[in-house]
Structure 1
Amino acid sequence: MYRALYRVWRPQRFDEIVGQQMITQTLKNAIMTHQTSHAYLFTGPRGTGKTSAAKIFAKAINCHHLVDGEPCNQCDTCQAITKGQLNDVIEIDAASNNGVEEIRDIRDKAKYAPTEADYKVYIIDEVHMLSTGAFNALLKTLEEPPANVIFILATTEPHKIPLTIISRTQRFDFRRITAKDSYARMEYILKQKDVTYDEKALRVIAQAAEGGMRDALSILDQVISFGDNTVTLDDALMVTGSVTKKLIADYVEEVTNHVTKPALETMREILQEGKDANRFIEDLISYTRDVLLYQQAPEMVDSVAMGENDQRFKDFADSIDAEVLYQMIKTLNDIQQQMRFTTHPDVYLEVLTVKLAQLDAQPQAQATATPVSADDPTVKQLAAKVDQLQGELKTLRNQGGAASKTAPAKPRAAKPTVKKVNVSQIYPILGAATKNDLLKVRDVWTDLMNILSVTQRALMHVAQPVAASASGVVVAFDYDFIYQKAIDDQTLIDALGNGLDRLMGQAPKIVYVPKDQWPEIRKTYLATHQPGGTQAEPAKPQSAPVVDQAKQLFGDLVEVKPD
């Protein structure tokens, strides 16, 4: 029975794991010096070696014939683990075993000593799929692990794992595998299998794999089957849906030269060959990115790093303005998002081609415009106007202070309008706010920020909770324009609510205010609301009961100033 390449050539030693030398060396050193941890967290994109590293680690820590931290792969223990037949190495798929009962079963069985090996190793794949209750059940075991038990958690989405779990593990981040490393591994495998191949085909496959070694071998498997045990460029392009570099270069040069019709014809030629529209966009983004990188650091471009010499690419990179490339990448990303749900990608590609061909047209026209002669009537008219204005300015200067008194004041530049704060949402929170609730929110605020995405964290970097009750939180923003952006971002509000729910066990309502308006809102509330709910006299905002209530609500934040 035929076995897929990624299964046949699965790494069996740390040295065979591609592109993760720092991680594998650290693990080997830990095993050789007997400084292994009771729990590890392997994170990173798919197909980068997380599960393979976990199995090799299980072999190495139980092997009695280690060589430089590597398992011998010959003893009974190593071979049993390789075949998945050792009872003391348990591999669990959290996607289908994510309930509390399954984790409790693990917890109960972990108490028993290993039967055959030195260590009992639990490998939990896709651990982010565990339910909240399952994580809580696992937490106790990670906190007080039994002797001779090691947990290895693997995930592609570490941000979904509670921080309480992460803090009890040694974390290793597996990085995407470079196209150069993928190319070298595929080349080694094909030479071992004695399969003829085209180097350009391997480069296409390495690019299409997008940093995953398993994906690269799966694509290579398809190409070998498609090409009857040979690997050709045409077959690789056909299987991956990629476009030849020549057509990509033709298309990019045509749109940057603002010749729309030839660019449309090239695009249609690409589609008529059966190429995937989304793959075409990916190839364009990759090509444009390579040009940008080549302008700044040529050695970082994959094709250059792999020794591929493309003079046409280098000439184009030397001639194109980086600003045009930035605009192209933005336009490509926008179209890519719009194409996700369409059934007519050709229409979007036609629109894309026209938009790309029009980029930078106006600046280009200005740059190539012929110089205007000094004898031009318009120039003479403008020069006369300048002379007149300079004369008026000189007169005003001679008049000195008198001119400044009689001159009308310049109107101030209008400040950008900020959406009015809805105090009807804030007052109920203030009515039930306590210092203790505010301290609870502040205690988890740092952890909450770590849960957010990078973009969301940047927005919230200038915001702090200033009041809280059991059902709501008031968050003040240092800058009005950031506040303006945040109140329109429903995704951010949802992320904050979900994060507080995870960290505090409740999802309070979140209300934003600009920081400069917060003191006035707070003062108005204290002046118009008494503990009994009656209206207070506006003239007594600084009376002792109100100050006491303010201190009860806001604690040390209250500052009393005389009128």
Structure 2
Amino acid sequence: MSYKALYRVFRPQRFEDVVGQEHVTKTLQNALLQKKISHAYLFSGPRGTGKTSVAKIFAKAVNCENSPTAEPCNECSTCLGITDGSLADVLEIDAASNNGVDEIRDIRDKVKFAPSSARYKVYIIDEVHMLSIGAFNALLKTLEEPPKHVIFILATTEPHKIPLTIISRCQRFDFRRIQPQSIVTRLKKIVEEQHIRIQEEALLAIARAADGGMRDALSLLDQAISFSEDEVLLEDVLAITGSVSQYKLAQLIKAIYEKNTAQALQLFNDLMDQGKDPNRLIEDLIYYYRDMLLYKAAPQLEEVVQRMVVDEQFKELAQVIPAPFIYETIDILNKSQQEMRWTNHPRIYMEVALVKLCYQEQDVNASSTMLRSLEEKIRQLESELQKIKEQGTKIIHSEQAEPSKKVVKSVRSDYKVPIGRIHEILRNATHQDLSIIKNSWSNMLELLKKQNKVSHAALLQESEPVAASSSAFVLKFKYEIHCKMVAENSNHVKENLEHVLYDLTGKKMEMVAVPEGEWLKIREDFIRQQQGNAREKEEAEDPFIAEAKKWFGENLIEIRD
């Protein structure tokens, strides 16, 4: 096979060829120059970001005949042998297929032998997280105290699966996703060297589709070259990646904002007829809204826009669409994306999401209207409370000036507290029932928010469960207006609250609302009443029995008629 894929032809052979990992390459180069070479390294990060390439470059630099050097010469016999894989002292092992104890024991037995031609034996273990627990244990002692002529380089995409005992014995380097602009710069050099004609927009589309991986970008470029004819166009890249052009995304977003449901669905159907992937489409939409939000927050920092080109259409949409609308849209799209991952009909979920987005402004306006109404009622209540405080201050001053005259000012409430029902709950109340309600309270508020009942959660934000029996509980409110709205089941708040608590606790419990000031008085009256009943019971007891209890104790006395 004479043809080689681009990612194999243009695999980095020097540290300066590695794109987007300057924090790793600079550290390794300084260590080489200062001869501070560790016995074990751990390279972790997403696929296609250069972990294995950097490992090979490091193996060449540490064994280069011109060392110490920051870059391998790629001309000496050692460098050439490592490049073509013929040098026996540098071994690249695939842990996915050599993950047993026997393979690691074989390595452990061979590391004690000196290298045959190079300065160091270098073991590059790729996808090291695939090793079994037994293999990790077999590697542990060798990794901790290897011979001076051995270097281990472990590469993985899932570092959380590696035992901490292994990680603690390595110098760890985290490889980052490569920025799209860095990928575009590298691709330009490659296409110029290969004399390939390609549009700038096509390169950017490849970089976006690569999702931070240079190997993926080169594979997509290879595929686009094969797909196209004389020149690689943007349409060619979009066809092979399943992505949607920025112009089409802008049209769809404009239709959503203008609440043009028919046009939005028509645009979506046209994209589906072209073979586009709904999962890819929803991801592109999320990133478009994300870039718009960041551009609105900091228009002078165009580099924060990762996926989209800041053209006139993008600027116009970012200026017109308000930030709250973008927040709500991203939230709806994110929930739909999660649902689409577990269904065989992602197109249906995407269509439902588009319809929901076209009507979201009405829901937002309704919620805003309710919140404004609540805020207005709260302001009225605070004003009334301030008047009551001022009147109370005047009464105190007048009583101090004229002790013989007492002014009694009573404030009437239009909410009638069910005192008898609260007393009944208190008689049967237990700490266990109250703990169940309190432990579920924060989860209940979160569920209400997730169910788009933000106003209900706002009403209950300043409330607290204070007593509970097996079938009911008392809910104390800081503001009486909130207490009245919930108790009267305004907008089904009480009904939704009891339903969510039933889902969380499995118990059907009735909610009884009480204002904070009334609760303290009711609680004191109940305690006083209970104490009075206890005293009456003691007074009604036979004096001979009471005397016997004092002498012998209640447990030793048996009373018979």
TM-score category of the 2 structures, normalised to the smaller one: 0.5 to 0.7
Letter in 2 for 1:323: P
Q: Does 1:289 align with 2:290?
A: yes
Q: Which residue of 2 aligns with 1:270?
A: 271
- How many angstroms does 1:356 deviate by? 1.1
8 Å contact kept, 1:13–1:56 = yes
Q: Which residue of 2 aligns with 1:419?
A: 436
Letter in 1 for 2:187: M
* Residues 271-309 of structure 1: CA deviation (Å, up to 9, x unaligned): 111111111011111111111221233466558679944
Q: Which residue of 1 aligns with 2:176?
A: 175
Determine the C-alpha separation between the residues in 1 that align with 2:242 and 2:224.
12
Letter in 2 for 1:164: T
Q: Does 1:195 align with 2:196?
A: yes
Q: Does 1:136 align with 2:153?
A: no
Determine the C-alpha separation between the residues in 1 that align with 2:7 and 2:349.
36
User: Aligned in 2, Cα 1:298/1:207: closer, same or farther, shift over 3 Å?
Assistant: farther
User: Aligned in 2, Cα 1:351/1:366: closer, same or farther, shift over 3 Å?
Assistant: closer
Q: Does 1:221 align with 2:238?
A: no
Determine the C-alpha separation between the residues in 1 that align with 2:62 and 2:96.
27
Determine the C-alpha separation between the residues in 2 that align with 1:2 and 1:280.
34
Determine the C-alpha separation between the residues in 2 that align with 1:129 and 1:300.
42
* Residues 314-339 of structure 1: CA deviation (Å, up to 9, x unaligned): 12212322222222122111111111
* Residues 354-408 of structure 1: CA deviation (Å, up to 9, x unaligned): 1111223244479899xxxxxxxxxxxxxx9999999999888877798689989
Q: Which residue of 2 aligns with 1:149?
A: 150
User: Aligned in 2, Cα 1:301/1:238: closer, same or farther, shift over 3 Å?
Assistant: farther
- How many angstroms does 1:66 deviate by? 4.7
Determine the C-alpha separation between the residues in 2 that align with 1:389 and 1:59.
79
- How many angstroms does 1:345 deviate by? 2.2
TM normalised by structure 2 equals 0.67
Q: Secondary structure at the match of 1:121?
A: strand
Letter in 2 for 1:286: Y
Q: Does 1:334 align with 2:335?
A: yes
8 Å contact kept, 1:290–1:301 = no
- How many angstroms does 1:25 deviate by? 1.0
Determine the C-alpha separation between the residues in 2 that align with 1:367 and 1:177.
41
Q: Which residue of 2 aligns with 1:97?
A: 98
Letter in 2 for 1:419: I
* Residues 117-174 of structure 1: CA deviation (Å, up to 9, x unaligned): 0000000011111111111111101111111100000011111111111111100010
User: Aligned in 2, Cα 1:87/1:252: closer, same or farther, shift over 3 Å?
Assistant: same
8 Å contact kept, 2:288–2:307 = no
Determine the C-alpha separation between the residues in 1 that align with 2:389 and 2:71.
84
Q: Secondary structure at the match of 1:231?
A: coil
User: Aligned in 2, Cα 1:386/1:326: closer, same or farther, shift over 3 Å?
Assistant: closer
Q: Secondary structure at the match of 2:286?
A: helix
- Once the two structures are overlaid, the 10-residue window that deviates more, 390-399 or 265-274, is 390-399
8 Å contact kept, 2:243–2:276 = yes
Q: Which residue of 2 aligns with 1:346?
A: 347
8 Å contact kept, 2:42–2:172 = yes
Determine the C-alpha separation between the residues in 2 that align with 1:29 and 1:390.
69
User: Aligned in 2, Cα 1:119/1:2: closer, same or farther, shift over 3 Å?
Assistant: same
Q: Which residue of 1 aligns with 2:116?
A: 115
- How many angstroms does 1:419 deviate by? 2.7
Letter in 1 for 2:162: I
- How many angstroms does 1:255 deviate by? 1.2
User: Aligned in 2, Cα 1:420/1:258: closer, same or farther, shift over 3 Å?
Assistant: closer
Q: Which residue of 2 aligns with 1:246?
A: 247
Q: Secondary structure at the match of 1:242?
A: coil
- Once the two structures are overlaid, the 10-residue window that deviates more, 158-167 or 305-314, is 305-314
User: Aligned in 2, Cα 1:38/1:251: closer, same or farther, shift over 3 Å?
Assistant: same
- How many angstroms does 1:64 deviate by? 1.2
- Once the two structures are overlaid, the 10-residue window that deviates more, 395-404 or 70-79, is 395-404
Equivalent residues in 2 for 1:72-91 (5 A)? 72-91=73-92
Determine the C-alpha separation between the residues in 1 that align with 2:20 and 2:295.
23
Count of residues in correspondence between the two structures: 411
Q: Which residue of 2 aligns with 1:554?
A: none
Unaligned runs of 5+ in 1: 370-383, 423-484, 489-563
Letter in 2 for 1:107: R
Q: Which residue of 2 aligns with 1:30?
A: 31
Q: Which residue of 1 aligns with 2:57?
A: 56
8 Å contact kept, 2:291–2:308 = no
Determine the C-alpha separation between the residues in 2 that align with 1:392 and 1:123.
78
User: Aligned in 2, Cα 1:396/1:421: closer, same or farther, shift over 3 Å?
Assistant: closer
8 Å contact kept, 2:197–2:232 = yes
* Residues 223-273 of structure 1: CA deviation (Å, up to 9, x unaligned): 000013631111000011000111101111221222222111111121111
Unaligned runs of 5+ in 2: 371-379, 397-405, 440-500, 505-561
* Residues 57-91 of structure 1: CA deviation (Å, up to 9, x unaligned): 00000001258510011111111111111100011
User: Aligned in 2, Cα 1:392/1:196: closer, same or farther, shift over 3 Å?
Assistant: closer
Determine the C-alpha separation between the residues in 1 that align with 2:389 and 2:438.
45
* Residues 204-226 of structure 1: CA deviation (Å, up to 9, x unaligned): 11001110001111111110000
8 Å contact kept, 1:256–1:359 = no
Letter in 1 for 2:339: Q
CA RMSD of aligned residues (A): 3.7
Q: Secondary structure at the match of 1:196?
A: coil
* Residues 37-68 of structure 1: CA deviation (Å, up to 9, x unaligned): 00000011000000000000000000012585
Q: Secondary structure at the match of 1:36?
A: coil
